[in-house]
Amino acid sequence: MAGTLTWVIYMLCKHPHMQENVATKVREAANLKDDSSIGELADCFNEDALNKMQYLLAALTETRRLYPAIPLVI
């Protein structure tokens, strides 16, 4: 999971237009304004808001497709 999140952050940093699209869609799904604080964002996360974040899901899924987690065999 941590590896996947690392790759997502890396890909968003590498593609600023995608980063802006994700941020815009998350704000829209949570009904937030551009100047909202991180606390307001955290308060808005609920099941309905998460179900509306299709662009974020697509970014996560595409990153998982490009950089799949390698199973650890011990």
What's the pTM? 0.74
Distance in angstroms (rounded) separating the CA atoms of residues 74 and 60:
27
Half-sphere exposure (Cβ direction) of 20: Cα atoms closer than 13 Å: 3
Walking along the chain (74 residues) 10 residues at a time, the average pLDDT comes out as 87 93 88 80 82 89 88 74
Q: Where are the domains of the chain?
A: 2-65
Looking at residue 70, what is its pLDDT? 79
Other C-beta atoms closer than 10 Å to the C-beta of 50 total 13
